[in-house]
């Protein structure tokens, strides 16, 4: 049975009690809103489809993100990057974070999407951010009693998956010169090793000295993105770069953070007038160079860690001029 009572001078409180069901109460600005809500709750209870939403009304988006950071993200590969992105969201979206989970609607995230794009963020970046927020809410949806994820029907920005980016002319030299001015001394070695090994950023940052054999010229990656370990051959340039590095106490080959590496690289590429070139493009460049050096598909896949040719193909862009030389 529902009861509606005035609370203070300007609000109305609805209370719904039904045997065998959890007690429900909510406060509204008008009596009409309170009555409408109570009618819906009573109907759901009668039909046996009522879901207790009280927790979703108490917990904010900030609470849910913090729960995800603590309980879920550490179990994921790439969890450090998830936490970095969520920290930025908590810092920059304080107003949105104060909404209760029950009051969040698709238009809130559509507004977020549009603002990020207007600020010049790449469509791919915004798409990944929305995907992460969707995962955060989905992980908590059942616990909160949410019937639907408010991001489920938010249209994602269109991304050009056929983006091709290679070094041209003196691009590489300009980048290396710009890297010499980095205060983060680990960034230039990271770039060189990325070009020489085709390792992903996360693989480079997780690489430990105990898995590097400078005598056999092999680096072992015990845990990679696809869940399988792999051995990566080290070129003479990679060996020289590794030998020149100081040893960190924690055993990491490159003891810097994902955010530190990302920010320093972005500043360097700006100085080199290569703002279009991402760190992951180094992997594209490295894999393409292996093919241009006449490595076969299986050899390249062994280095890069790709499981199938189709996945490998989208990372590989051969220069027509180099291929023409082979044709004679």
Q: Residue 81 has which token pair?
A: 């990057």
In this structure, CATH architecture of domain 171-327:
Orthogonal Bundle (1.10)
Task: Give the active site residue among 200, 230, 269, 284.
Answer: 200
Is 153 known to be catalytic?
Answer: no
Give residue-wise pLDDT tens across range 253-299.
999 998 899 999 999 999 999 988 999 999 989 998 998 888 888 88
Distances (CA, A) of 221 to 8, 204, 217, 232, 292: 64, 9, 13, 8, 25
Active site residue 247: no
From the list 199, 171, 188, the residue with the least C-alpha distance to 290 is 199
Interval 49-59 mean pLDDT: 69
Catalytic residue chosen out of the listed positions 58, 70, 105, 280: 280
Structure tokens at 183: 């205060």
Would residue 270 show up in a list of annotated catalytic residues for this protein? no
Distance CA 229, CA 305 (A): 9
Q: Is 306 a catalytic residue?
A: yes
Active-site annotation holds for 225: yes
Burial class (CB in 10 A: 0-12, 13-18, 19+), 312: middle
Per residue in 11-47, pLDDT (tens digit) is 888 888 777 777 777 787 888 888 887 887 777 777 7
Question: Which of 2-11, 31-40, 128-137, 296-305 has the highest average model confidence (pLDDT)?
Answer: 128-137
Residue 50 annotated among the catalytic residues of the structure: no
């Amino acid at each position: 049975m529902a009861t509606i009572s005035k609370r203070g001078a300007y609000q109305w409180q609805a209370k719904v009690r039904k045997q065998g069901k959890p007690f429900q109460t909510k406060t509204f600005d008008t009596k009409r809103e309170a009555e409408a809500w109570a009618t819906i709750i009573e109907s759901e209870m009668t039909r046996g489809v009522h879901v207790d939403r009280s927790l979703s009304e108490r917990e904010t988006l900030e609470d849910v993100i913090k729960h995800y950071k603590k309980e879920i993200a550490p179990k994921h590969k790439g969890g450090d990057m998830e936490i970095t992105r969520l920290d930025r969201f908590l810092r920059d979206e304080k107003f949105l974070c104060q909404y209760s989970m029950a009051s969040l609607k698709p238009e809130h995230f559509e507004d977020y999407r549009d603002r990020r794009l207007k600020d010049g963020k790449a469509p791919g970046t915004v798409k990944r951010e929305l995907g992460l927020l969707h995962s955060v809410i989905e992980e908590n949806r059942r616990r909160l009693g949410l019937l639907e994820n408010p991001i489920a029907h938010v249209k994602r920005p269109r991304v050009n998956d056929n983006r091709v980016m290679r070094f041209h002319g003196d691009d590489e030299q300009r980048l290396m010169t710009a890297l010499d001015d980095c205060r983060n001394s680990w960034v230039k070695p990271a770039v060189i090793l990325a070009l020489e090994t085709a390792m992903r950023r996360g693989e480079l940052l997780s690489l430990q000295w105990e898995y590097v054999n400078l005598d056999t010229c092999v680096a072992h990656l015990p845990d990679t993105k696809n869940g399988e370990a792999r051995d990566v051959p080290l070129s003479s340039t990679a060996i020289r770069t590794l030998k020149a590095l100081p040893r960190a106490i924690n055993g990491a080959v490159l003891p810097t953070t994902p955010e530190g590496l990302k920010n320093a690289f972005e500043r360097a590429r700006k100085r080199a007038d290569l703002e279009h070139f991402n760190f992951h493009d180094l992997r594209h460049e490295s894999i393409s160079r292996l093919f241009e050096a006449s490595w076969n598909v299986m050899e390249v896949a062994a280095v890069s860690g790709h499981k199938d040719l189709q996945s490998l193909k989208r990372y590989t862009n051969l220069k027509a001029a180099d291929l023409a030389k082979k044709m004679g």
